[in-house]
Amino acid sequence: MTPQLQQAIRLLQLSTLDLQQEIQQALDSNPLLEVVEEETEGSPEINAEDSSVDSDGPMQSLEHGADDTDTADWDNSDPQMAMPEELPVDTQWDDLLPSASAPPPSQDDYPDADFEARNAGSDSLREQLMWQLGLTRLSDTDRLIAMALIDATDDNGRLVAELEEIHESLGDELDIELDEVVAVLHRLQQFEPAGVCTRDLQECLLVQLRQLPPDTPWLEQARIVLSRHLNQLGSGDYSQILRRTRLSEDQLKEVMGLIQTLDPNPGQNAVQQDVEYVVPDVFVSKKNGRWLVELNPDIAPKLRINSNYAGLIKRADNSADNTFLRDNLQEARWFLKSLYSRNETLMKVATKIVEHQRNFLEYGEEAMKPLVLHDIAELVEMHESTISRVTTQKYMHTPRGIFELKYFFSSHVATTAGGECSSTAIRALIRKLVAAESPRKPLSDNKIAQLLEGQGIQVARRTIAKYRDTLMIPPSNERKRLV
């Protein structure tokens, strides 16, 4: 595998953010590459098409290296690809090279550009508890006990060690009783967020109830339900709760509404998670009744070869300076060719995906068609490994949201009419059926399978259970609710 082929493969599998870093690194290391700030008339420009290196582009080598079967010949030196006269999906091929937008400004240009990242609340739960401990007046002994308890608290706010174990671990250093550990624990349970440093779910919820104002409606009833009937509450056995608490259905609904405001994992919401932004590689929009596929023009600056440095190269000169410039010129040309091939391949694959999944764009998940990598590989005459690389960490912006290209690939099941149905469509149907079910009598997996069979889709009960788990939908006994 040649270095040029390795570079083409590496650029192909990079995400948009990683590609921007790769381009910046190439600009820093190769003086022959420069960013096109703005177009000026009469300025000579050398681009990926002006090349004295091998005529075969890196992507053609990639295809023949990955598969010995015949594939379509690529002419990377010609940006105008042969297109069929009529396409079901319009494709914007104008800028296959990186866009004409200026390079992204550095953080030095805008001192406040990283303000959000610098001021994000990324302190861990332990740090928050230790900060509150520093504001609490405790004796030295109690402070050591509190630190041991905080160290034994996980990210959910739950103690992961028994109080007896913590007491024994402190016994070598301190002469204390177990009651002192319990007293300090109750002090820590008054910290924010409410419900931290608790030993189980029941204690966590009860601690949160104790911190509510005394005049909160249904507070005492909620405390009784949690302290005496938590098992029945978890299993959805509301009839026993109604009988033992002597509450009416409407009253129990009010109590349940109060309980549902409590947080079973208070530590998770106490720590603000870092936000990960997704930059789409492809835009899909509908114009004049046709779907248009375009590359994101802002994912990378437009590059060219510096004509001044290129003009200094002499063919017969073997000096160190001339060799340096000549080698960098060849590397720059290969880099531009690899970028062109990457964008060209991404454009081809995205266009074929949109052609295949137009029903999804029109009607939603329930209209998703089955699609595997092999189908797109045959349409664009590439190897499946290439399709896998180009669909990983590449995102498509559609009117229905931003999706990774791999989202549009799914397995299928047979229908009674002899056709196929996508697993994504089946999951959407399951979600729709569960959303419309009666809370008093939720649908079992068998019932969902029967309803889908009535629509011509044959799915086994265990498959329904698997899809339901991926959708994070609990089983029917846990979905049972009061009307």
pLDDT of residue 158: 93
How many whole angstroms separate alpha carbon 14 and alpha carbon 100? Answer: 20
Place of tokens 């009860």: 206
How many whole angstroms separate alpha carbon 437 and alpha carbon 480? Answer: 10
For residue 361, the tally of other CB atoms under 10 A from its CB is 18
pLDDT of residue 12: 84
pLDDT of residue 117: 45
CA distance to 133, 166, 264, 439, 459, per residue, from 126 (Å): 10, 17, 18, 39, 47
pLDDT of residue 113: 43
Contact call for residues 421 and 412 (beta carbons, < 8 A): yes
For residue 249, the tally of other CB atoms under 10 A from its CB is 10
Strand partners, 290: 287
pLDDT of residue 111: 47
Chain-centre distance for alpha carbon 220:
42
pLDDT of residue 201: 93
For residue 98, the tally of other CB atoms under 10 A from its CB is 25
Residues with Cβ within 8 Å of residue 431, at least 6 apart in sequence: 471, 473
pLDDT tens digits, one per residue of 77-127? 343 334 444 445 666 655 555 544 444 444 444 444 444 444 444 578 999
pLDDT of residue 103: 46
How many whole angstroms separate alpha carbon 293 and alpha carbon 295? Answer: 7
Q: Which amino acid is at 364?
A: G
Q: What angle do CA 405, 411, 417 make, to 5 degrees?
A: 125
- Domain 411-479 adopts which CATH fold? Arc Repressor Mutant, subunit A (1.10.10)
Residues of the chain with pLDDT under 50: 40-62, 64-87, 99-121, 483
Place of tokens 């079967």: 69
Q: Which amino acid is at 176?
A: I
Residues with Cβ within 8 Å of residue 377, at least 6 apart in sequence: 383, 384, 386, 387
Q: What are phi and psi of 79, to 5 degrees?
A: -70, -15
Question: What are the structural domain ranges in the chain?
Answer: 3-103+278-401, 125-270, 411-479
Q: Which amino acid is at 317?
A: D
Task: Quote the tokens at residue 82.
Answer: 């042969």
pLDDT of residue 418: 61
Q: What pTM value is reported for the model?
A: 0.63
pLDDT tens digits, one per residue of 417-433? 666 788 888 999 999 99
pLDDT of residue 422: 85
How many whole angstroms separate alpha carbon 189 and alpha carbon 198? Answer: 7
Contact call for residues 199 and 182 (beta carbons, < 8 A): no
Contact call for residues 337 and 330 (beta carbons, < 8 A): no
Residues with Cβ within 8 Å of residue 323, at least 6 apart in sequence: none
